[in-house]
Amino acid sequence: MENLTIEHFVPFIEAHRYLGYVLLFLAMMFEGEIVLIFAAILSHVGAFDFGDVIAIALLGVVLGNMVWYYIGIIASRNKFVGRVILPRAERAICYFLPHFREKPFTSIFFSKFIYGVNHAVVFMSGVMRINFPLFVKAETLASVVWVSFHSIVGYLFGYAAIQITHKASRFVLITILFVVVFILLQKFLVYLYERRKYQKNRYPQR
């Protein structure tokens, strides 16, 4: 096992690439950025096609957004959800995006890049019946940028890892390390944003 290289596994993965594409599509409907990054990594070594990865991921994200939007519409009709859950969800969103009601397009767009916030925003867009064409434009534009960015990040991770080693076990460990560091960096940036918001609210400028 130690002597196996990544080239030994590429033909196997390539032979099952359509199953991988299905898993990628489904993952993208449920915040699957880690899956997207790994798919892009595999595209660098030739197991997947990079263009296919971007197209399938984008389709999954856009359709997933539509599903979450309509789930929000359905949930808004439930009295318990509307009375107990939704006010809390709205307060949480307004904490990150205080101008959500006044500037829905900008808020929806930027929510895509705040780790762990986008699906809540998409859901609340349905609850609040945000204009659907506006919602589609904002989410589609954000999705194009988001998918392209994470695909490029994954591709570069694959390039860096293959430059370090061709051994399969080490390649996997290195790519996992890259992805973990990337996710932690996103969470750290969100933490800094939360801290800045907290201090701004606690010590407002006079």
135-160: pLDDT as tens digits = 999 999 999 999 999 999 999 998 99
pLDDT per residue as tens digits for the range 118-140: 888 888 888 888 889 999 999 99
Residue 155 is assigned to a structural domain of this protein: yes
Q: What confidence score (pLDDT) does residue 203 get?
A: 54
Residue 205 is assigned to a structural domain of this protein: no
Q: What confidence score (pLDDT) does residue 1 get?
A: 46
* Spatial distance between the Cα atoms of 155 and 162, rounded to a whole number of angstroms: 11
Q: If we measure between CA atoms, which residue out of 39, 76, 45, 44 comes closest to residue 60?
A: 39
Residue 1 is assigned to a structural domain of this protein: no
Residue 204 is assigned to a structural domain of this protein: no
- Inter-axis angle of helices 86-96 and 168-202, to 10 degrees? 90
Structure tokens at 197: 């918001």
Residue 32 is assigned to a structural domain of this protein: yes
* Structural domains counted in the chain: 1
**Which ranges of the chain have pLDDT less than 50?**
1
Q: Is the CB of residue 146 less than 8 Å from the CB of residue 114?
A: no
Q: Which domain, by its residues, includes 185?
A: 6-199
